[in-house]
Amino acid sequence: MSSDVTAPKWSLRLPADCSIAAIRSVYDLIREAFNRQDRLEIDCSSVDKADVTSIQLLLSAAKTGDAQGRPVVLTSFSQSLRNTLRRAGFASEAMIDQHFPQKKDGT
Global confidence as pTM? 0.81
Please report the DSSP string for 57-98 in residue order: HHHHHHHHHHHTT--EEEE---HHHHHHHHHTT--SHHHHHH
Q: What is the pLDDT of residues 85-95, one digit of tens each?
A: 999 998 788 88
pLDDT of res. 8:
53
pLDDT in tens, 11-54: 899 999 999 999 999 999 999 988 887 889 999 999 999 999 99
